[in-house]
């Protein structure tokens, strides 16, 4: 009788993605702005257009992008 062998595939994860308990953690390579920082910057963008027509989501995305650029310098 031929000997059966089991093949097991080890799940590989990046060390930066999980800690020892398997919880997802953020990578320390890119600084991220806090929600409060983004909220404040989005509000400043809103005020800069004098509260005129605009989209809150677009303001948020612009604020997040600007802050991330600032923090990466």
Share of the chain above pLDDT 90, in %: 53
CA–CA gap between residue 18 and residue 4 (Å, rounded): 34
More confident residue, 26 or 33: 33
Q: What is the pTM of this model?
A: 0.58
Q: What is the mean pLDDT of the chain?
A: 79
Share of the chain above pLDDT 70, in %: 60
53, 12 contact by CB (below 8 A):
no
């Amino acid at each position: 009788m031929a000997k059966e062998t089991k093949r097991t595939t080890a799940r590989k994860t990046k060390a930066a993605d999980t800690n020892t308990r398997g919880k997802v953690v953020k990578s320390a390579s890119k600084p991220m702005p806090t929600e409060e920082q983004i909220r404040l910057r989005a509000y400043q963008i809103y005020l800069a257009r004098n509260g005129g027509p605009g989209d809150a989501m677009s303001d948020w995305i612009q604020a997040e992008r600007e802050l991330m650029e600032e923090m990466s310098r």
